[in-house]
Amino acid sequence: MRRFSALLAVLLSAALLVSASGLATPEKLQQLEASGKVSPQTQACLACHMKVTPGIVMDWLNSDHATHTPPQVQEIYDAIQAGPQPIAEKFKNYPYVVGCYECHGMFKEQDRVDVVNHFGFKIVSIVTLKDCSQCHPKEAKEISWTWHGFGALNTNLSPWYKKIVAYAKEHGETEEMLPPVFTKLHKDLITWDWYKEYAKALFNYLNGKPVDEKWLNYIKTFGTVYDYDFKRIISPLYPASGGLATKVGERVGYEPEIGAMCGVGKWKFQTKIKNIMEHPMYKNAYTYHACYECHGTLVVPYKMETTVIKGFPVTRMVYWGWPSNGAGRVDPDGSIGTCTACHPRHSFSVAQAREPWTCGQCHIGYDHPHIEIYEESKHGNIFDANKEKWNMEALPWKLGTDFNAPTCATCHMSTIASPDGKTILVKGTHDLRARLVWDQMHFFGYPKADYPDNVQLAVMMGVKVLTGENIEKAVSGDFKVIPGPKAGELAFPRVATIQFSGELAKKRAAMEQVCELCHSTQWTKNFFMTADQNIIDYDIVAHYAFNLLKKAWAEGIHDPSNKLDEFMEVMWYYIWHHQGRRWRNGAFMMGPDFAHWFGIVDTVMEALNKMISYYEMAKNVKQLQAEVQQLKQQIQTLAK
Amino acid sequence: MRRFSALLAVLLSAALLVSASGLATPEKLQQLEASGKVSPQTQACLACHMKVTPGIVMDWLNSDHATHTPPQVQEIYDAIQAGPQPIAEKFKNYPYVVGCYECHGMFKEQDRVDVVNHFGFKIVSIVTLKDCSQCHPKEAKEISWTWHGFGALNTNLSPWYKKIVAYAKEHGETEEMLPPVFTKLHKDLITWDWYKEYAKALFNYLNGKPVDEKWLNYIKTFGTVYDYDFKRIISPLYPASGGLATKVGERVGYEPEIGAMCGVGKWKFQTKIKNIMEHPMYKNAYTYHACYECHGTLVVPYKMETTVIKGFPVTRMVYWGWPSNGAGRVDPDGSIGTCTACHPRHSFSVAQAREPWTCGQCHIGYDHPHIEIYEESKHGNIFDANKEKWNMEALPWKLGTDFNAPTCATCHMSTIASPDGKTILVKGTHDLRARLVWDQMHFFGYPKADYPDNVQLAVMMGVKVLTGENIEKAVSGDFKVIPGPKAGELAFPRVATIQFSGELAKKRAAMEQVCELCHSTQWTKNFFMTADQNIIDYDIVAHYAFNLLKKAWAEGIHDPSNKLDEFMEVMWYYIWHHQGRRWRNGAFMMGPDFAHWFGIVDTVMEALNKMISYYEMAKNVKQLQAEVQQLKQQIQTLAK
Amino acid sequence: MRRFSALLAVLLSAALLVSASGLATPEKLQQLEASGKVSPQTQACLACHMKVTPGIVMDWLNSDHATHTPPQVQEIYDAIQAGPQPIAEKFKNYPYVVGCYECHGMFKEQDRVDVVNHFGFKIVSIVTLKDCSQCHPKEAKEISWTWHGFGALNTNLSPWYKKIVAYAKEHGETEEMLPPVFTKLHKDLITWDWYKEYAKALFNYLNGKPVDEKWLNYIKTFGTVYDYDFKRIISPLYPASGGLATKVGERVGYEPEIGAMCGVGKWKFQTKIKNIMEHPMYKNAYTYHACYECHGTLVVPYKMETTVIKGFPVTRMVYWGWPSNGAGRVDPDGSIGTCTACHPRHSFSVAQAREPWTCGQCHIGYDHPHIEIYEESKHGNIFDANKEKWNMEALPWKLGTDFNAPTCATCHMSTIASPDGKTILVKGTHDLRARLVWDQMHFFGYPKADYPDNVQLAVMMGVKVLTGENIEKAVSGDFKVIPGPKAGELAFPRVATIQFSGELAKKRAAMEQVCELCHSTQWTKNFFMTADQNIIDYDIVAHYAFNLLKKAWAEGIHDPSNKLDEFMEVMWYYIWHHQGRRWRNGAFMMGPDFAHWFGIVDTVMEALNKMISYYEMAKNVKQLQAEVQQLKQQIQTLAK
């Protein structure tokens, strides 16, 4: 579509509104402004920003926002047959296209702390989920109830957030302090308004302004998440932390004196340490470029300043935790979740979000190689060979006509229309759990929990971290296992069959509906039947390995007080967190190398074999030590 | 071409037969049916399936099958100058395009067991190599003689198949029970008709129908491949099996009680086990989503049923081992090999098969990272930067005009024409061994064996699994090594030169012919000269490592009765199966990181260093145990 | 652009000069020759080579060289506003396009040894940096001063080159024997004319011609780099060498008898060896397909021969070290560096060089996963989703109009113009160090050294390999570390701030200028602030690990005489060479999985944890050995 219209523009029109290759040109901006469709405020922004940050302006110029007014969003909802959706009052008859001012100046929460006066306009730098929800209410609501929205609170912010949860429960302030996860059910956008107030109070406190006692108490109790927890907590959420705070060093008498940047001798801070985490200059700064980039930060506005930027005196809010476009970012207006994580920056593109690598920016690597599995899968092969013929922007997305294999979005989210676009065959959602039956992330064989997620429930309900005890409480729906025939017995099917009921049954059916657009019902049923057995198989392997680790702890071969700094502990971590996931993810998404080599083979050959070999060697050495000790005593006795 | 015709269609015609982006639209189907080119039977299929599985129909609509009649296949053979090829009698003057009925209803073997009555039509779900061979005889024959055709029998089905081979040899039924690999030489399509009869007998047996005594004997002797071998055999074919059936656990007294899915408490099967494989609920179900997805299954039709699907009562055959599009699938009609593995589903596309990632769906990962090597190579770089300008569908494929760097297919398979298309410069083949000199897959330095492969020979001739003894019997052609100068001696070339004769010489020449389309003869010769020395180098390293393992076995440091569950055993597996392959594959296909870091460095630094370090530690501990034992005795003696 | 012109050509012209898909057709060649723009010499080449190597000719036909004369190169320099650049006198008014003869026949150094008579023309096979510099002086000069130019001398050729350096320093021949790195500063193309003379002398020596005594001395002292160093030197430059020459084997009494290719029994060289490197047939031939493919070879012309190739008697120079397109190749004319590494073969394409995977052909894998990080990054995601709309060939490259996200080249090299192309916003360079502050490659936390690189300085100034002592001498500019608040203290920013001055400040500013085309100054500043802290964090971790290894060496747990063959040595290598790089590279280039899982987690959990676990076990065993020894003596005493 895009290619064709680019060409037509070239052939039929003298004005080069788009470059021959397909991106917008500056001429498009001129014409757009001339047309009267750009608000005066946005025109003021553009006048300057085309010079100081031209990349941003051009990105926007390529977007649908540049050519559509807020009320036109209903065209999208009509296309996907989602019915009328309520947009914010102020945008209902708004005549201008969605430009700089419409997002940065017409933000939702007027009392958020980080509003600045920018050359006469009251604006915010950070456009939040709440702001986007003014025109995109359906998507904002759906995403806010799922793992992606809670991606920071449940993971990198979790130790800090756990304190808040504990406090709120102790003081009966659950309702007030926490997002309304348990009291509301998919009825509204989930936000965390407590944080909006906290951000205000913190800003005032840091800038010497008066702060209400209640909030002063909160500030003293919780501080901010940055740095201080990371230096104290050993947790699977910070998997390097076990080794950084290792107890083995101390046990073997290793206490080196270490500076910082002493490699160059430019700056030193020589100090004797028992482990790395103790070093005063060590800051765990990887979190900003690792955890936060996917999971999101907690944005802290901490100072207002006026500074000269590219020749202009600019007043701006100075933030900590910024930049971050992580999916679960918590914003100063209490928003949870980040639209720009997938619809990036100023292009706000649906095509970008349907691109597999958009998911791949986080779903990659040892512990969630979803993009690698997709690339290996036949689905990915077909995409690779055909994507030039696809229409990635079509709304609705027409099966066969616009695409001939699924990307990540297709199976997990997309509205799918019939080839002629007239019928919606599959209803779309931004709730990523809607088509998933299994939690393939944690420890053992678990079904997928309800909103927002297991880990949220772990926080709220006290699920035991290493065993997952009580985790079934988090699941709506049930399942029954019908064992297959015994080994050698001649009967089919040769694996167990799992029967789901309740929510779990709905989730499985939702995914099957997608599969069956191209595959037979038998194909689909058999595929899931053998895939499900992998959950059982994994569960058995995981218990075998974890029980061995517990034995090693019990026998003093390893010390459980730091659970991530000894050999068998690391192997167990690999099994549940890396390799066991790859095995199951690979099985369910048609990545045979991930099910096999990176999956079960790494689980068993690489991790379990080494774990058990280590155990044997360590046990032998321990026994030798005991025997030598005994011999010493016997000799002493003899010598007397 | 595709892009151009898409555009022209848009510009010149009112009917939108293809979408602007390039895929077919439902209008194309209407026009096609109106044209009278679609058989009445296929029209009947389409009427329903456009509603129940629109994805399949649209895929077919995008294919060349939708617009070509069977006799037109000769146009392909003319384009690649392959001469006249015999198509099946019934298709010789067939007037309709190749639609649903032509493949699913006009199948080759009328007496296969899995034929069903589908709303009045006798059809099969699974279209096999035999079926495709009716119009594509050259390709079907070529592929059937090579590794790809035997991809399942030689690997995941091998333990089961070995029994059959042994039985057939013992009972003088070689001719009857085995595919005619050794008695015919490229004269015909290789199939396994014994299996067609076996599938029939098994179906009858399972459904309580009478079965001939001979077949009853076979059924009792062999059963089916599923589940039962996987639970008993430790084999490099199931690399996880060593650890799953580990003997170390028992040795250290580890016998845990483990349930299945006890993580959620939904279902338990608590039992005490010595190793994982013993657990009654453990099913090795990864095989279905790992081994089988690339290698293929053995398809077992086991039940006929009528069930309501999407509102219609449908009679269907229920299969085990389905779905699978693995390259070496064995079908109920005795077919070996699967065209759809590379020309997937209903698009049957040559462009798809020429796409590197089509090969990459199996040739990926630790042990055969061919797609990763290609991506790293300059060939891959050029493809990436230029593929939009390529014509992936052209027949013949014109050097320079249609493509300006090779994909996997180009070097290993493709017919390559001169830039003007008039001359065939390189003759194409579906026999993937035709241009390969070395077997870089097994244990040590071997030349590439004749049809179908080393491993087939291992099955037939008793090649020893861990040493490769006798493997030279499987090779036609010979080679001679002329050593290079000694270290320090000033002479060139500085490596050994290997001179090939017979079939090996032909294979090397076939590949050089491709290289020399773009590279000088010196470039090509030197490249292979240094690459060949890597085979020698690897061979030395592999023997050094394997001999060390044999020493560890001999000294009781490891127990050879389970060859894949102890540390040094795993390291040796990595050397021959993973890292030593990467080293040589990387060298031969221009992936320097794979030759080096993932290759020799992992072989030596990661595996061999660790192997020898472990050996030293284990030896020290063993000696300490002996010394302590001696001391105990001495003290006992002294104490007396 | 390309796509559009391809289409226009199709629509408006009968002559199919380009194929519909976009590549050139043979008709283009005919028309080009008819136009009189091709020199008679080049026409002679084409007449034959269109038949013998059509791939090369077609590649050239697709290039800009095929349609541009040498003086037109100034159009490029005008487009990027680089001012007038001096091209070679002979090309100043040259009327023909740049064809075969212009590069292979009009080479720069008339007296190079590898000139051959090719059917009446004096030509060279290898076109060198010096040759390209005749028309592209700016780029040739810039690249020659950077790491890429010295990519072979500093790494794979380093042991050989170090000897030359030592000799030159001892004999006061620095000026004469070495490239003028220290005496000239960016004033001219860096070459190594000593090698040109050496290559001549060596050729004469090998072919029995008279050689001057001075050069005979050099030949006897240095020989050539090939094979002989690789068999003797254990160095991090050949990381496999530690294990290949391991001392552990000897220590445990392992001295196997090993042949070569004994797996097939075709050829044997049975011999008893203490380690692999000792084996006379072992040649380290991986170097040709690993090191050299990225870093480049030293090309040795060693024989002139006349041989029949494809029916013609051809006189050619036979080279060792050829083929190689590694970035730092040293050529027989004294050139250092290889343009074709990134502008490959005969297409000489700027679009290809801007393609991320062009960098990725070397910047990939364990120790420099830059392409993987790019693919994961949001920049890479946007490229993936939009590249069809980009103009990869535009000069200048216009922000927003031609591209809407950076590729590798954009940030590190490219000239970037405003959206309308009128203003150059960022000046381009082929000096890859110009925008980089940190050396993230070596041991500890170092700033980026001046030309050509740390390692060159290591060669010249005696920097200690494992500690980096004196490395700061190689850096222009300084930095100051301002520590952040302590853990728990409520203040922002929460990490150290590093202030740069001198050249380092300029480098940081140069990169920030690129970022700020699309990102705010706060975004940019904060991003680098947290990224910089990762350098400090890494430095602390690296010292903790390295000090532990030194302790193990001191206590006899490991033997430092071979630094790469024991467990903890390998772990330390992984930390500084693989995982510590990934951590920092991932942090600076927005690859969160590389900063985290492949980075700090692998550094700490995988390498450091295992290192310290091994240390504990080894220490326990060592102590047991001592205790048992003591017990033996006590018993002996008692027994007396």
Q: Which helix (H) or strand (E) holds C501?
A: strand C497-501
Q: Cβ distance A124 to A107 under 8 Å?
A: yes
Is B18's pLDDT higher than 70? no
Give B586's contacts in chain C (Cβ within 8 Å): 289-290
Give every CB contact of residue B346 below 8 A, 6+ residues apart in sequence: B56, B57, B59, B60, B63, B65
Q: Do B400 and C352 touch (CB under 8 A)?
A: no
Calculate what percentage of chain C has a pLDDT beyond 70: 92
Q: How many residues does chain C have?
A: 640
Helix A454-461 to helix A158-170 angle (10° resolution) is 40
Neighbours of A486 (CB within 10 A): 12
Please give the pLDDT value at position B486. Answer: 87
Give the SS3 label for residue C20.
coil
What whole-number distance in Å separates Cα of residue C471 and Cα of residue C454?
7
**How far from chain centre, in Å, is Cα B508?**
22
Q: Do B520 and C567 touch (CB under 8 A)?
A: no
Give the SS3 label for residue C116.
strand
Give every CB contact of residue A555 below 8 A, 6+ residues apart in sequence: A619, A622
C263 touches chain B (CB under 8 A): yes
Q: Do B544 and C56 touch (CB under 8 A)?
A: no
User: Which segments within B234-311 are labelled E, that is strand?
Assistant: 257-258, 271-272, 300-309
What whole-number distance in Å separates Cα of residue C137 and Cα of residue C139?
6
Give the SS3 label for residue C232.
coil
Q: DSSP code of C261?
A: S
Q: How far is B397 from chain A (nearest CA, A)?
A: 17
**Cα Rg of chain C, angstroms:** 28
| The pair of three-digit structure tokens given for residue A505, joined into one six-digit string | 């049954």
Q: Do B289 and A531 touch (CB under 8 A)?
A: yes
Q: Do C19 and B7 touch (CB under 8 A)?
A: no
Give C411's contacts in chain A (Cβ within 8 Å): none
Sort C579 into a burial class: Cβ within 10 Å, 0-12 / 13-18 / 19+: buried
What whole-number distance in Å separates Cα of residue C595 and Cα of residue A285?
10
| The pair of three-digit structure tokens given for residue A397, joined into one six-digit string | 């997305």
Per-residue pLDDT band for C261 (boundaries 50, 70, 90) equals confident
What whole-number distance in Å separates Cα of residue C414 and Cα of residue C398?
11
In Å, how far are B340, B408, C19, C58, C429 from B80, measured between CA atoms? Answer: 21, 18, 19, 21, 47
| The pair of three-digit structure tokens given for residue C36, joined into one six-digit string | 């009189």
Q: Which of A444, A595, A610 sits opposite B263 (nearest CB)?
A: A444
Give C496's contacts in chain A (Cβ within 8 Å): 281, 283
Q: What is the pLDDT of residues A295-307, one digit of tens each?
A: 999 999 999 999 9
Q: Do A520 and B125 touch (CB under 8 A)?
A: yes
> What is the separation, in whole angstroms, between the first and last Cα of chain A?
97
What whole-number distance in Å separates Cα of residue A251 and Cα of residue A243?
13
Q: Vertex A343, ends A342 and A347: CA angle to 5°?
A: 150
What whole-number distance in Å separates Cα of residue A453 and Cα of residue A148?
10
Interface test with A, best of C1, C375, C381 (most A CBs within 10 A): C381
User: How confident is the model over B223-239, as a mean pLDDT?
Assistant: 84
Q: Do B628 and C632 touch (CB under 8 A)?
A: no
Nearest to A417 by CA among A438, A393, A431, A396: A396
Per-residue pLDDT band for B104 (boundaries 50, 70, 90) equals very high
What whole-number distance in Å separates Cα of residue B551 and Cα of residue B556?
9
Is B477's pLDDT higher than 60? yes
Give B281's contacts in chain A (Cβ within 8 Å): 483, 496, 536, 540
| The pair of three-digit structure tokens given for residue C575, joined into one six-digit string | 């930390």
Neighbours of B448 (CB within 10 A): 23
Give the SS3 label for residue B252.
coil
Give B564's contacts in chain A (Cβ within 8 Å): 605, 609
What whole-number distance in Å separates Cα of residue C303 and Cα of residue C206?
8
Is C17's pLDDT higher than 90? no
Give C293's contacts in chain B (Cβ within 8 Å): 590, 592, 595
Interface test with C, best of B539, B567, B590, B603 (most C CBs within 10 A): B539
> What is the separation, in whole angstroms, between the first and last Cα of chain C?
97
Nearest to A366 by CA among B372, C597, C587, C371: C597
Q: Do C471 and A264 touch (CB under 8 A)?
A: yes
Q: What is the pLDDT of residues A180-227, one digit of tens each?
A: 876 666 678 999 999 999 999 999 999 999 999 999 999 999 998 998
B462 touches chain A (CB under 8 A): no
Per-residue pLDDT band for C316 (boundaries 50, 70, 90) equals very high
Strand pairing report for C416-417 and C397-398: parallel
Q: Which of A95-104, A355-364, B82-91, C158-167 has the lowest mean pLDDT?
A: C158-167
What whole-number distance in Å separates Cα of residue B180 and Cα of residue B606?
43
Q: How far is B338 from chain C (nearest CA, A)?
A: 31
Give C251's contacts in chain B (Cβ within 8 Å): 616
Please give the pLDDT value at position B145. Answer: 85
For chain A positions 525-584, those within 8 Å of chain C (CB to CB) are: 564-567, 570, 573
Interface test with C, best of A116, A294, A359, A361 (most C CBs within 10 A): A361
**Cα Rg of chain B, angstroms:** 28
Query: Mean pLDDT, consecutive 10-residue segments, chain A of 640 residues?
Result: 40 48 91 97 97 96 97 97 96 98 98 97 98 97 89 88 89 89 74 96 98 96 87 85 95 92 69 94 95 97 95 95 96 96 94 97 97 97 95 96 97 97 96 92 85 58 56 79 89 95 96 97 97 96 96 96 95 97 98 98 97 97 96 90
Residue with token string 């070459």:
C191
Per-position DSSP letters for B466-485, written without gaps between them = TT-TTGGGG--SEEEEE--P
Backbone angles phi, psi at B405, to 5 degrees: -160, 160
Q: Residue A442 pairs with which residues in a beta bridge?
A: none
What subunits touch chain A, counting only 3 or more CB pairs under 8 A? B, C
User: Which segments within A399-441 are labelled E, that is strand?
Assistant: 416-417, 424-426, 438-439
For chain A positions 201-220, those within 8 Å of chain B (CB to CB) are: none
Q: DSSP code of A634?
A: H
Q: Which of C262, C286, C300 sits opposite B596 (nearest CB)?
A: C286
Q: Residue A303 pairs with which residues in a beta bridge?
A: A318
Q: Residue A481 pairs with which residues in a beta bridge?
A: A498
**How many CB pairs below 8 Å do chains B and C form together?**
357
Nearest to B352 by CA among B551, B62, B19, B639: B62
User: How confident is the model over B185-191, as a mean pLDDT?
Assistant: 82
For chain B positions 270-289, those within 8 Å of chain A (CB to CB) are: 273, 276, 279-286, 288-289
Question: Model-level pTM greater than 0.90?
Answer: yes
> What is the separation, in whole angstroms, between the first and last Cα of chain B?
98
Q: Vertex A543, ends B230 and A488: CA angle to 5°?
A: 25
* Per-residue b or e along A521-533, where b marks 16 or more CB atoms closer than 10 Å to that residue's CB: bbbbbbbbbbbbb
Mean pLDDT, chain A, rounded, equals 91
Q: Which residue of B has its CA nearest to C619?
A: B617
Please give the pLDDT value at position C457. Answer: 62
Q: Report the greatest alpha carbon distance in chain C.
A: 110
Per-position DSSP letters for A549-616, written without gaps between them = HHHHHHTTSS-TTSTTSSHHHHHHHIIIIIIHHHHHHHHHTT-HHHHIIIIIIIIIIIIIHHHHHHHH
Give the SS3 label for residue C378.
helix
What whole-number distance in Å separates Cα of residue A287 and Cα of residue A279?
17
Please give the pLDDT value at position A265. Answer: 64
Strand pairing report for A121-123 and A257-258: unpaired
Give C467's contacts in chain A (Cβ within 8 Å): 263
Per-residue pLDDT band for C452 (boundaries 50, 70, 90) equals low
Neighbours of C636 (CB within 10 A): 10
**Cα Rg of chain A, angstroms:** 28
Q: Which of A520, A540, A597 sits opposite B279 (nearest CB)?
A: A540
What whole-number distance in Å separates Cα of residue B29 and Cα of residue B244?
53
Give the SS3 label for residue B317.
strand
Per-residue pLDDT band for C18 (boundaries 50, 70, 90) equals low
Per-position DSSP letters for B91-144, written without gaps between them = GTT--S---HHHHHTS-S-TT-TT-EEETTEEE-S---HHHHTTT-HHHHHHHH
Please give the pLDDT value at position B154. Answer: 83
Is B1's pLDDT higher than 50? no
Per-residue pLDDT band for C275 (boundaries 50, 70, 90) equals very high
Q: Do A223 and C420 touch (CB under 8 A)?
A: no
**How many CB pairs below 8 Å do chains A and B form together?**
355
Q: What is the pLDDT of residues C218-237, one digit of tens each?
A: 999 999 999 877 888 888 88
Nearest to A586 by CA among A375, A353, A356: A375
Q: Do C534 and A291 touch (CB under 8 A)?
A: no
Please give the pLDDT value at position A15. Answer: 39
Between C19 and A543, whose confidence is greater? A543
C264 touches chain B (CB under 8 A): yes
Q: Do A294 and C481 touch (CB under 8 A)?
A: no
Strand pairing report for B416-417 and B397-398: parallel
Q: Do C567 and B610 touch (CB under 8 A)?
A: yes
For chain C positions 610-629, those within 8 Å of chain A (CB to CB) are: 610, 612-613, 615-617, 619-621, 624, 627-628
Q: Cβ distance C131 to C107 under 8 Å?
A: yes
Sort A89 into a burial class: Cβ within 10 Å, 0-12 / 13-18 / 19+: exposed
Q: What is the pLDDT of residues B373-426, one digit of tens each?
A: 999 999 999 999 999 999 999 999 999 999 999 999 999 999 999 999 999 999
Give every CB contact of residue B548 below 8 A, 6+ residues apart in sequence: B568, B611, B612, B615, C254, C256
Q: Which helix (H) or strand (E) holds C478?
A: strand C478-482
Backbone angles phi, psi at B525, to 5 degrees: -65, -45
